[in-house]
Amino acid sequence: MDVIKIIEKLPYAKPFLFVDTLSHIDSSGAAGSFCFQKDLDFYEGHFKQLPVTPGVILTECCAQIGLVCLGIFLLSETLETKTNDLSVVFSSSQMEFYLPVYPGETVYVSSEKLYFRFNKLKCKVKMHNAARELVCKGELAGMIKYSTHGA
């Protein structure tokens, strides 16, 4: 499955889509990027004097690129997916944050699969900024599956 099809199968849309590119994906992990445009709504109220990207949004960006995109890829290896009816349930996160991400910054996310069993995927994720500094890292897990109805 190519990266464009993977992004198209994501169950998100703007303004809650945090994947611009997928630069790498295989059965071991994924890598991609996202630019936090200055006009995103959450910047208006999150530290109004000096806007910064909320940690929950950074976690979501890591999950979309590193967990959900990888899950779509792994599912495509095991069954033919004729539907876009993807169910994602985020089950756990353990993240550590080191640097802020400001409006206009591009971040780069990479993941390493820890396991994928019974549709549960767990990954190590890392996010770096354009200066290659570590922004955050952690472990994320979720259940990922395609609906069998309508297929």
- 71 touches 19 (CB < 8 A): no
Instruction: Give the model's pLDDT for residue 151.
Output: 43
pLDDT at 52 over 80: yes
DSSP-assigned letters across all residues of 102-119: -TT-EEEEEEEEEEEETT
Q: What percent of the chain has pLDDT over 90?
A: 73
pLDDT at 103 over 60: yes
Distance of CA 84 to the CA centre of its chain: 17
pLDDT at 1 over 80: no
Question: What pLDDT, in 10s, does the model give residues 66-96?
Answer: 999 999 999 986 655 555 677 788 889 999 9
Distance of CA 107 to the CA centre of its chain: 11
Q: Residue 122: helix, strand or coil by DSSP?
A: strand
Domains in the chain (CATH in brackets) are: 3-146 (3.10.129.10)
Instruction: Give the model's pLDDT for residue 31.
Output: 98
Helix extents (H) in the chain: 3-9, 55-62, 69-78
pTM (whole model) above 0.85: yes
